[in-house]
Copies of this chain bind each other. A is one copy, B any other.
Amino acid sequence: MTARTGVQTADFADVKAANLAVVLRHVRGNAPCSRADIAAATGLNKATVSNLVADLIDRRLLREDGPSGFRIGRPATMLALDGAPYATIGVEVGSDHLTALAVDLLGHRLLSWRRSFAEHVSSPGRAVAAIAALARRAAIRAARQGRQVLGLTVGVPGLVDNDGVVHRSPHLGWSDVDLRGRLVSALRGPAYSVVVDNDANLAVLAEKRYGPYPEATNLAYLTGGAAISAGVVADGRLLRGNRGFSGAIGHLQVRPGGPPCVCGRDGCLEALAGIPALIRRVLPDADTDLTAADLAPDVQELIRRATAGDRPALDALAETGRWLGHGASTLTNLVNSEVVILGGYFAPLAPWLIPSLEVELAHRTAAPRAGGCRVAAATLGTDSTALGAAARVLDHIDSGQLPEHSP
């Protein structure tokens, strides 16, 4: 059959890459497993699987894990992903902090650092220096462990185009910053890939990969901080749009004539349902410029009051939930999300947000029962953007873009 149809090498290489990825993903989901297990589950023949596994071991993506003691007959050599040779680095740029995180091929965390960042805001130059310094430190740490760094991905709040240029980030005070280009320069053209993306996009990919929604192919993640934006996975793929500007849900007007927004408009979802608006409703003495402050202490105070049954706190949370339901209904109506995930500071507040959110969402969604959408708190803590950033390279590997291991 192969000889007759004579498909050329280029196409054939695609088939091989696809099959390497099939084997890799199977082991990722089912390790430890044997070559025979892989053949049975994937439908590839055993000789093919042996060849593919040999290639993956050569590339140091798989390793042999010793024989299984629980098998009938001849013990099979078991396979697992090799966690040792590689690292990928993710950085989240928040309005008040930088988070760096590195993972191995298994997604295990190799390091997790958080540092204050407020002093760098509004100065892209100092921000680039700080991000590059953090990335360099992480890369050095990885190299000392004998790991090859495969990529650095940086998540930023705001409109980031497909080339990694930050067009607008009101919360960082940036516009038209070629963050990717400047990072590549600051890192002196590193051997690994450098990618810049919107923070919500990376967070939704983290929830898709590590969250409790293995079957869901339509997820949306709402960032919950001073900014609100949405990362959307539609029909299994991250939704980017024409220039990468999708998910700007925070600047949909939900109340005409409502409070002014950092974007210059009024009544935006972010102005009504963002964490600073919530804090101001409950804690009128809070810092007036909350957009760049560390919001964590005030959120803790909110949780304390809500837990104690404080009526003003509960009312403010219910109101915020209603606005979020209004905002989320644009997702259920337009992209028919299956899960809307409350991220950032919305996650610990979710028990008080979700009841009113769900009512509003169902009321405003054209399809019955909110189109089948459920609402859930993020499960990955405050690290989802950095984790999604670090895991971005794993997505590429899992789809067949395999690294060549440099010894």
A interface residues, Cβ below 8 angstroms from B? 1-12, 14-16, 18-19, 43-45, 47-48, 51, 159, 167-168, 217-218, 230, 232, 234-235, 237, 239-253, 255-256, 263, 265, 329-338, 363-368, 371-373
A8 contacts across to B, CB distance below 8 A: 43-45, 48
**Residues in B whose Cβ lies below 8 Å from that of A19:** 7, 11
- Whether B168 pairs with A367 at a CB distance below 8 angstroms is yes
In the complex, besides A2-B12, A7-B48, 20 extra interface pairs with C-beta distance below 8 angstroms are A2-B2, A2-B3, A5-B12, A5-B48, A6-B45, A12-B15, A14-B15, A168-B368, A218-B241, A232-B334, A234-B240, A234-B241, A235-B239, A235-B241, A241-B338, A245-B336, A246-B336, A253-B364, A255-B256, A330-B330
Contact (A6, B372) CB under 8 Å given A239-B335, A248-B366, A333-B249: no
B5 touches A51 (CB 8 A): yes
CA distance A251 to B366 in the complex (A): 6
In angstroms, Cα B226 to Cα A55, docked, is 60
Q: Is the CB of B242 within 8 A of A337?
A: yes
Report the 6 A-B pairs with minimum CB-CB distance, sorted nearest first: A241-B336, A242-B338, A248-B366, A251-B366, A245-B367, A248-B333
Which residues of B lie under 8 Å from residue A245 when comparing CB positions? 332, 336, 366-367, 371-372
Copies in the complex: 2
A328 to chain B, nearest CB (A): 11
For A217, the chain B residues whose CB sits under 8 A away are 242
Q: Which of A237, A251, A338, A367 is most buried by chain B, counting CB atoms within 10 A of its CB?
A: A367
Q: Which among A12, A14, A365 has the highest number of chain B CB atoms within 10 Å?
A: A12
Q: Which residue of B lies closest to A330 (CB)?
A: B330
Are A368 and B331 neighbours in the complex by a CB distance under 8 Å?
Answer: no
A241 and B340 CA atoms in complex are apart in Å by: 13
Taking the closest CB of chain B, its distance from the CB of A44, in whole angstroms, is 6
Docked CA distance A218–B244 (Å):
11
Q: Kindly list chain B residues whose C-beta atoms are within 8 Å of the C-beta of A246.
A: 234, 334-336
How many Å lie between the Cα of A235 and that of B237 in the bound state?
9
Contact B263–A366 (Cβ < 8 Å): yes
In the bound complex, do residue A336 and residue B167 qualify as a contact, i.e. CB atoms below 8 Å apart?
Answer: no
CA distance A243 to B247 in the complex (A): 20
Question: Which residues on the B side are within 8 Å of A250 (C-beta)?
Answer: 366
A241 contacts B335, CB within 8 Å?
Answer: yes
Q: Per a CB cutoff under 8 Å, which of B3, B6, B12, B252 touches A7?
A: B12
Complex Cα–Cα for A125 and B330 (A): 33
A12 and B1 in contact, given A334-B249, A336-B240, A336-B244 (Cβ under 8 angstroms): yes
